[in-house]
Protein backbone atom coordinates (compact mmCIF):
# COMPACT_ATOMS: atom_id res chain seq x y z
CA UNK A 1 0.00 0.00 0.00
CA UNK A 2 1.26 3.51 -0.86
CA UNK A 3 0.87 5.94 2.05
CA UNK A 4 1.86 9.61 2.18
CA UNK A 5 2.51 11.40 5.48
CA UNK A 6 2.34 15.12 6.20
CA UNK A 7 3.00 16.50 9.65
CA UNK A 8 4.08 19.22 12.03
CA UNK A 9 6.78 18.89 14.67
CA UNK A 10 5.57 17.02 17.76
CA UNK A 11 6.88 16.90 21.30
CA UNK A 12 8.80 14.04 22.96
CA UNK A 13 5.64 12.62 24.47
CA UNK A 14 4.19 11.75 21.05
CA UNK A 15 7.49 10.37 19.66
CA UNK A 16 7.04 6.70 20.77
CA UNK A 17 3.60 6.51 19.14
CA UNK A 18 4.89 8.00 15.87
CA UNK A 19 7.86 5.60 15.92
CA UNK A 20 5.44 2.70 16.45
CA UNK A 21 3.42 3.95 13.45
CA UNK A 22 6.52 4.07 11.23
CA UNK A 23 7.58 0.58 12.42
CA UNK A 24 4.08 -0.74 11.76
CA UNK A 25 4.15 0.66 8.20
CA UNK A 26 7.62 -0.86 7.67
CA UNK A 27 6.41 -4.27 8.92
CA UNK A 28 3.46 -4.07 6.52
CA UNK A 29 5.89 -3.23 3.70
CA UNK A 30 4.02 -0.01 2.91
CA UNK A 31 5.51 2.32 0.31
CA UNK A 32 5.94 5.49 2.39
CA UNK A 33 6.28 9.08 1.13
CA UNK A 34 6.86 11.90 3.61
CA UNK A 35 6.43 15.65 3.06
CA UNK A 36 9.77 17.44 2.80
CA UNK A 37 9.60 19.60 5.96
CA UNK A 38 8.26 16.79 8.15
CA UNK A 39 10.95 14.43 6.84
CA UNK A 40 13.61 16.96 7.87
CA UNK A 41 12.07 17.03 11.36
CA UNK A 42 11.94 13.21 11.56
CA UNK A 43 15.48 12.60 10.27
CA UNK A 44 17.87 11.91 13.16
CA UNK A 45 14.92 11.65 15.53
CA UNK A 46 13.04 8.56 14.42
CA UNK A 47 13.74 5.43 12.34
CA UNK A 48 12.01 5.65 8.94
CA UNK A 49 10.80 2.65 6.91
CA UNK A 50 13.37 1.49 4.38
CA UNK A 51 12.88 3.11 0.96
CA UNK A 52 10.96 6.09 2.33
CA UNK A 53 10.84 8.87 -0.24
CA UNK A 54 10.14 12.56 0.06
CA UNK A 55 7.60 14.78 -1.67
CA UNK A 56 7.16 18.53 -2.07
CA UNK A 57 4.17 20.75 -2.71
CA UNK A 58 3.26 20.40 -6.37
CA UNK A 59 4.47 16.77 -6.61
CA UNK A 60 1.59 14.55 -7.66
CA UNK A 61 0.25 12.16 -5.03
CA UNK A 62 -1.45 10.06 -7.72
CA UNK A 63 -1.39 6.38 -6.73
CA UNK A 64 -1.30 7.13 -3.00
CA UNK A 65 -4.11 5.26 -1.21
CA UNK A 66 -4.18 7.19 2.06
CA UNK A 67 -2.63 10.37 3.44
CA UNK A 68 -1.81 10.52 7.14
CA UNK A 69 -1.90 14.02 8.62
CA UNK A 70 0.05 14.22 11.89
CA UNK A 71 -0.38 17.40 13.97
CA UNK A 72 -3.55 19.29 14.69
CA UNK A 73 -6.41 20.82 12.79
CA UNK A 74 -4.09 23.33 11.08
CA UNK A 75 -2.06 20.42 9.69
CA UNK A 76 -5.19 18.74 8.40
CA UNK A 77 -6.35 21.94 6.70
CA UNK A 78 -2.94 22.13 5.01
CA UNK A 79 -3.09 18.43 4.04
CA UNK A 80 -6.34 19.05 2.17
CA UNK A 81 -4.46 21.49 -0.10
CA UNK A 82 -1.88 18.82 -0.96
CA UNK A 83 -4.55 16.25 -1.84
CA UNK A 84 -6.88 18.60 -3.77
CA UNK A 85 -8.93 17.05 -6.54
CA UNK A 86 -7.32 13.62 -6.10
CA UNK A 87 -9.67 13.19 -3.12
CA UNK A 88 -7.35 10.68 -1.42
CA UNK A 89 -8.81 9.71 1.99
CA UNK A 90 -7.09 11.55 4.84
CA UNK A 91 -6.59 10.15 8.32
CA UNK A 92 -6.01 12.92 10.86
CA UNK A 93 -3.70 11.99 13.74
CA UNK A 94 -3.77 14.45 16.57
CA UNK A 95 -0.57 15.40 18.39
CA UNK A 96 -1.74 18.98 18.95
CA UNK A 97 -4.10 20.85 21.22
CA UNK A 98 -7.76 20.59 20.15
CA UNK A 99 -7.93 18.07 17.31
CA UNK A 100 -11.49 18.74 16.24
CA UNK A 101 -10.82 17.54 12.70
CA UNK A 102 -7.75 15.41 13.43
CA UNK A 103 -9.37 12.95 15.79
CA UNK A 104 -7.02 9.96 16.13
CA UNK A 105 -5.05 10.27 19.36
CA UNK A 106 -1.55 8.74 19.55
CA UNK A 107 -2.79 5.80 21.66
CA UNK A 108 -5.23 4.85 18.88
CA UNK A 109 -2.80 4.99 15.93
CA UNK A 110 -2.12 1.24 15.81
CA UNK A 111 -5.84 0.49 15.85
CA UNK A 112 -6.44 3.08 13.12
CA UNK A 113 -3.76 1.67 10.80
CA UNK A 114 -5.12 -1.83 11.33
CA UNK A 115 -8.59 -0.54 10.43
CA UNK A 116 -7.19 1.08 7.26
CA UNK A 117 -5.61 -2.18 6.14
CA UNK A 118 -8.75 -4.18 6.93
CA UNK A 119 -11.09 -1.61 5.37
CA UNK A 120 -12.93 -1.20 8.67
CA UNK A 121 -13.77 2.48 8.35
CA UNK A 122 -16.13 4.89 6.65
CA UNK A 123 -15.32 7.85 4.45
CA UNK A 124 -16.86 11.14 5.40
CA UNK A 125 -17.26 13.46 2.41
CA UNK A 126 -16.63 17.07 3.45
CA UNK A 127 -17.57 19.89 1.09
CA UNK A 128 -14.98 22.55 0.23
CA UNK A 129 -15.39 26.23 -0.55
CA UNK A 130 -13.78 27.70 -3.65
CA UNK A 131 -12.96 31.35 -4.23
CA UNK A 132 -12.47 32.95 -7.63
CA UNK A 133 -10.94 36.40 -7.67
CA UNK A 134 -9.99 38.94 -10.30
CA UNK A 135 -7.05 39.52 -10.13
CA UNK A 136 -6.11 36.00 -9.09
CA UNK A 137 -5.05 35.71 -5.42
CA UNK A 138 -4.79 32.06 -4.36
CA UNK A 139 -3.60 30.47 -7.63
CA UNK A 140 -4.48 26.79 -7.93
CA UNK A 141 -4.96 26.48 -4.14
CA UNK A 142 -8.18 28.50 -4.21
CA UNK A 143 -10.21 26.12 -2.05
CA UNK A 144 -10.56 25.52 1.68
CA UNK A 145 -12.18 23.08 4.10
CA UNK A 146 -13.32 25.55 6.79
CA UNK A 147 -14.04 28.94 5.37
CA UNK A 148 -13.30 31.92 3.18
CA UNK A 149 -13.03 35.28 4.94
CA UNK A 150 -12.61 38.96 4.06
CA UNK A 151 -11.02 40.91 6.90
CA UNK A 152 -9.85 44.44 7.63
CA UNK A 153 -6.09 44.66 7.63
CA UNK A 154 -4.22 47.79 8.53
CA UNK A 155 -6.63 50.26 10.12
CA UNK A 156 -8.99 50.07 13.06
CA UNK A 157 -11.87 51.27 10.85
CA UNK A 158 -14.67 48.95 9.84
CA UNK A 159 -14.99 47.67 6.33
CA UNK A 160 -18.14 47.47 4.24
CA UNK A 161 -18.72 44.20 2.44
CA UNK A 162 -21.44 44.50 -0.22
CA UNK A 163 -22.75 40.96 -0.62
CA UNK A 164 -24.80 39.31 -3.39
CA UNK A 165 -26.35 35.83 -3.62
CA UNK A 166 -26.65 34.56 -7.19
CA UNK A 167 -26.32 38.15 -8.35
CA UNK A 168 -29.09 39.47 -6.08
CA UNK A 169 -28.14 42.09 -3.54
CA UNK A 170 -28.20 40.68 0.04
CA UNK A 171 -26.70 43.33 2.31
CA UNK A 172 -23.81 45.68 2.96
CA UNK A 173 -22.11 44.47 6.11
CA UNK A 174 -20.41 47.16 8.24
CA UNK A 175 -18.05 44.97 10.23
CA UNK A 176 -14.49 43.81 10.89
CA UNK A 177 -15.00 41.28 8.15
CA UNK A 178 -17.17 38.52 6.77
CA UNK A 179 -16.81 34.74 6.92
CA UNK A 180 -18.37 32.22 4.55
CA UNK A 181 -18.07 28.81 6.19
CA UNK A 182 -18.70 25.24 5.08
CA UNK A 183 -20.42 22.81 7.45
CA UNK A 184 -16.93 21.67 8.55
CA UNK A 185 -15.94 25.28 9.22
CA UNK A 186 -19.11 25.89 11.22
CA UNK A 187 -17.22 24.88 14.38
CA UNK A 188 -14.23 27.11 13.53
CA UNK A 189 -14.14 30.89 12.98
CA UNK A 190 -17.85 31.08 12.11
CA UNK A 191 -18.76 29.74 15.56
CA UNK A 192 -16.87 32.66 17.17
CA UNK A 193 -18.99 35.00 15.01
CA UNK A 194 -22.20 33.55 16.42
CA UNK A 195 -22.83 31.16 13.51
CA UNK A 196 -24.73 27.89 13.99
CA UNK A 197 -23.10 24.47 14.13
CA UNK A 198 -24.01 22.51 10.98
CA UNK A 199 -23.74 18.78 10.52
CA UNK A 200 -21.18 17.85 7.85
CA UNK A 201 -23.64 16.67 5.18
CA UNK A 202 -26.02 19.64 5.21
CA UNK A 203 -24.98 21.18 1.84
CA UNK A 204 -25.06 24.79 3.00
CA UNK A 205 -22.80 27.73 3.62
CA UNK A 206 -22.99 30.12 6.57
CA UNK A 207 -22.48 33.83 5.87
CA UNK A 208 -21.34 35.26 9.22
CA UNK A 209 -20.19 38.87 9.71
CA UNK A 210 -17.23 39.41 12.08
CA UNK A 211 -18.32 41.92 14.76
CA UNK A 212 -21.04 43.66 12.69
CA UNK A 213 -21.90 47.18 13.83
CA UNK A 214 -25.61 46.55 13.43
CA UNK A 215 -27.24 44.46 16.12
CA UNK A 216 -29.97 43.23 13.78
CA UNK A 217 -27.52 41.52 11.46
CA UNK A 218 -27.26 37.77 12.06
CA UNK A 219 -25.44 34.83 10.45
CA UNK A 220 -27.34 33.45 7.47
CA UNK A 221 -27.51 29.88 6.14
CA UNK A 222 -27.41 29.69 2.32
CA UNK A 223 -27.54 26.71 -0.06
CA UNK A 224 -24.08 25.67 -1.26
CA UNK A 225 -25.49 25.64 -4.80
CA UNK A 226 -25.45 29.44 -4.67
CA UNK A 227 -22.69 31.75 -5.83
CA UNK A 228 -21.90 34.46 -3.27
CA UNK A 229 -20.06 37.53 -4.51
CA UNK A 230 -18.62 40.58 -2.80
CA UNK A 231 -17.36 44.12 -3.26
CA UNK A 232 -15.29 45.66 -0.47
CA UNK A 233 -15.21 49.27 0.61
CA UNK A 234 -13.62 51.13 3.50
CA UNK A 235 -11.13 53.78 4.60
CA UNK A 236 -8.20 51.54 3.83
CA UNK A 237 -7.30 50.55 0.29
CA UNK A 238 -6.05 47.13 1.29
CA UNK A 239 -7.79 44.13 2.89
CA UNK A 240 -7.10 40.54 3.81
CA UNK A 241 -8.55 37.50 2.09
CA UNK A 242 -8.23 34.16 3.88
CA UNK A 243 -8.89 30.53 3.10
CA UNK A 244 -8.57 28.48 6.29
CA UNK A 245 -5.06 29.20 7.68
CA UNK A 246 -3.84 31.01 4.56
CA UNK A 247 -4.23 34.74 4.15
CA UNK A 248 -3.13 37.31 1.59
CA UNK A 249 -3.50 41.09 1.25
CA UNK A 250 -5.59 42.45 -1.64
CA UNK A 251 -6.57 45.83 -3.04
CA UNK A 252 -10.17 46.96 -2.56
CA UNK A 253 -10.82 46.73 -6.30
CA UNK A 254 -10.61 42.91 -6.25
CA UNK A 255 -13.67 41.02 -7.56
CA UNK A 256 -14.59 38.04 -5.37
CA UNK A 257 -17.01 35.13 -5.81
CA UNK A 258 -17.29 31.97 -3.72
CA UNK A 259 -19.07 28.71 -4.48
CA UNK A 260 -18.86 25.04 -3.58
CA UNK A 261 -15.77 23.33 -5.00
CA UNK A 262 -16.44 20.54 -7.50
CA UNK A 263 -14.48 18.00 -5.41
CA UNK A 264 -14.64 17.14 -1.72
CA UNK A 265 -12.19 16.34 1.04
CA UNK A 266 -12.56 12.74 2.18
CA UNK A 267 -11.88 12.09 5.85
CA UNK A 268 -11.39 8.58 7.21
CA UNK A 269 -13.87 8.01 10.00
CA UNK A 270 -13.31 5.16 12.42
CA UNK A 271 -16.13 3.57 14.35
CA UNK A 272 -15.51 5.12 17.76
CA UNK A 273 -15.52 8.76 16.57
CA UNK A 274 -18.25 10.72 14.84
CA UNK A 275 -19.19 14.38 14.49
CA UNK A 276 -21.73 14.21 17.32
CA UNK A 277 -19.30 12.60 19.78
CA UNK A 278 -16.70 15.22 18.78
CA UNK A 279 -19.17 18.01 19.63
CA UNK A 280 -19.62 16.50 23.08
CA UNK A 281 -15.95 15.86 23.77
CA UNK A 282 -14.13 18.75 22.02
CA UNK A 283 -16.69 21.53 22.45
CA UNK A 284 -17.49 20.23 25.94
CA UNK A 285 -21.21 19.88 25.31
CA UNK A 286 -21.02 16.62 27.27
CA UNK A 287 -19.60 18.25 30.41
CA UNK A 288 -23.00 19.31 31.73
CA UNK A 289 -22.97 17.80 35.23
CA UNK A 290 -26.77 17.42 35.15
CA UNK A 291 -26.36 14.63 32.58
CA UNK A 292 -26.78 11.19 34.17
CA UNK A 293 -23.54 9.39 35.05
CA UNK A 294 -22.64 6.92 32.34
CA UNK A 295 -23.56 9.20 29.42
CA UNK A 296 -20.38 9.19 27.40
CA UNK A 297 -18.44 12.21 26.26
N1 LIG B 1 -11.67 33.91 16.24
C2 LIG B 1 -11.62 32.66 15.82
O3 LIG B 1 -12.32 31.76 16.30
C4 LIG B 1 -10.69 32.32 14.71
C5 LIG B 1 -9.86 33.27 14.14
C6 LIG B 1 -9.03 32.86 13.10
C7 LIG B 1 -9.06 31.55 12.63
N8 LIG B 1 -9.88 30.65 13.21
C9 LIG B 1 -9.98 29.28 12.72
O10 LIG B 1 -8.71 28.70 12.62
C11 LIG B 1 -8.66 27.95 11.43
C12 LIG B 1 -7.23 27.75 11.05
O13 LIG B 1 -6.68 26.86 11.95
P14 LIG B 1 -5.15 26.96 12.40
O15 LIG B 1 -4.87 25.83 13.30
O16 LIG B 1 -4.32 27.13 11.19
O17 LIG B 1 -5.17 28.34 13.15
P18 LIG B 1 -4.92 28.68 14.71
O19 LIG B 1 -3.54 28.28 15.11
O20 LIG B 1 -5.35 30.10 14.87
O21 LIG B 1 -5.89 27.72 15.51
C22 LIG B 1 -7.26 27.79 15.41
C23 LIG B 1 -7.93 26.79 16.36
O24 LIG B 1 -9.15 26.42 15.73
C25 LIG B 1 -9.27 25.01 15.73
N26 LIG B 1 -10.01 24.62 14.53
C27 LIG B 1 -9.59 24.69 13.23
N28 LIG B 1 -10.56 24.21 12.42
C29 LIG B 1 -11.60 23.85 13.22
C30 LIG B 1 -12.89 23.30 12.97
N31 LIG B 1 -13.33 23.04 11.73
N32 LIG B 1 -13.69 23.03 14.03
C33 LIG B 1 -13.28 23.29 15.28
N34 LIG B 1 -12.07 23.82 15.59
C35 LIG B 1 -11.25 24.10 14.57
C36 LIG B 1 -7.85 24.50 15.79
O37 LIG B 1 -7.81 23.24 16.43
C38 LIG B 1 -7.13 25.53 16.63
O39 LIG B 1 -7.19 25.22 18.00
C40 LIG B 1 -9.44 28.78 10.46
O41 LIG B 1 -9.89 28.00 9.37
C42 LIG B 1 -10.56 29.29 11.34
O43 LIG B 1 -11.70 28.42 11.32
C44 LIG B 1 -10.69 31.01 14.23
N1 LIG C 1 8.19 23.23 16.27
C2 LIG C 1 7.25 22.64 17.02
N3 LIG C 1 7.60 21.88 18.09
C4 LIG C 1 6.67 21.27 18.86
N5 LIG C 1 5.36 21.34 18.60
C6 LIG C 1 4.96 22.07 17.54
C7 LIG C 1 5.87 22.76 16.68
N8 LIG C 1 5.16 23.38 15.70
C9 LIG C 1 3.86 23.09 15.94
N10 LIG C 1 3.75 22.35 17.04
C11 LIG C 1 2.51 21.86 17.65
O12 LIG C 1 1.88 21.03 16.73
C13 LIG C 1 0.49 21.05 16.96
C14 LIG C 1 -0.22 20.98 15.69
O15 LIG C 1 -0.17 22.21 15.00
P16 LIG C 1 -1.39 22.62 14.12
O17 LIG C 1 -1.15 23.99 13.57
O18 LIG C 1 -1.64 21.51 13.14
O19 LIG C 1 -2.52 22.57 15.19
P20 LIG C 1 -3.66 23.56 15.53
O21 LIG C 1 -4.24 24.12 14.29
O22 LIG C 1 -3.16 24.48 16.56
O23 LIG C 1 -4.77 22.58 16.02
P24 LIG C 1 -4.93 21.88 17.38
O25 LIG C 1 -5.50 22.94 18.29
O26 LIG C 1 -5.89 20.79 17.02
O27 LIG C 1 -3.60 21.38 17.81
C28 LIG C 1 0.18 22.30 17.79
O29 LIG C 1 -0.27 21.91 19.08
C30 LIG C 1 1.52 23.00 17.91
O31 LIG C 1 1.73 23.51 19.20
ipTM of the complex: 0.90
Active-site entry in 11, 24, 73, 134: 73
Q: Over range 225-248, report the average pLDDT.
A: 94
Question: Is residue 261 marked as binding?
Answer: no
Cα 135 to ligand 1 centre (Å): 27
Class of domain 129-260: mainly beta
Cβ(187) to ligand 1 under 6 A? yes
User: CB of 97 closer than 6 A to ligand 2?
Assistant: yes
Average pLDDT of the chain, as a whole number: 95
- DSSP conformation letters of 175-234: ESEEEEE-TGGGGTHHHHTTPPP--TTS-EEEEEEES-S-TT---EEEETTS-EEEEEEE
Higher pLDDT, 196 or 277: 196
* 289: Cβ contacts below 8 Å, ≥ 6 apart: none
What does the pLDDT look like over 50-83, one tens digit per residue?
999 999 999 999 999 999 999 999 999 999 999 9
Q: Assess whether the region 2-126+264-287 and the region 129-260 belong to the same CATH fold.
A: no
pLDDT of amino acid 289: 79
239 is in an annotated binding site: no
Helix, strand, coil shares of the chain, percent, nearest 5, are: 25, 35, 40
How crowded is residue 128: how many other Cβ atoms within 10 Å of its Cβ?
A: 24
Q: What's the confidence (pLDDT) of residue 274? A: 86
Please indicate if the annotation marks 96 as binding a ligand: no
What pLDDT, on a 0 to 100 scale, did the predictor assign at position 98?
87
Nearest residue (by CA) to ligand 2, atom 30, is 96
Mean pLDDT on 179-201: 98
User: Catalytic annotation on 73?
Assistant: yes
Flag whether pLDDT at 227 surpasses 80: yes
Kind of pairing, strands 143-144 and 265-269? unpaired
75 lines ligand 2 (CB under 6 A): yes
The candidate with the shortest Cα–Cα distance to 69, out of 104, 97, 98, is 104
- Mean pLDDT over 121-137 rounds to 97
Instruction: Name the CATH superfamily, with its identifier, for domain 2-126+264-287.
Output: Probable inorganic polyphosphate/atp-NAD kinase; domain 1 (3.40.50.10330)
Domain boundaries, the chain: 2-126+264-287, 129-260
pTM: 0.95
pLDDT at 45 over 80: yes
Q: Which ligand is nearest to the CA of 8?
A: 2
**How many Å apart are CA 248 and CA 135, to the nearest integer?**
13
Amino acid sequence: MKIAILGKPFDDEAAPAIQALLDDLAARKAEVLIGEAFRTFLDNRLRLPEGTTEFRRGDSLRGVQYVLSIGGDGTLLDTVTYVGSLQIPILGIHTGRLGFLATITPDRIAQAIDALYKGHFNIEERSLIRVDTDPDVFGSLNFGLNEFSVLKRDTSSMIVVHTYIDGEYLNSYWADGLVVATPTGSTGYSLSCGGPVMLPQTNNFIIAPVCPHNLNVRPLVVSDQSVISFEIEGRSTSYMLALDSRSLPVEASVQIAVRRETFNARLVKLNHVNFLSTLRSKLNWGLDRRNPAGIQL
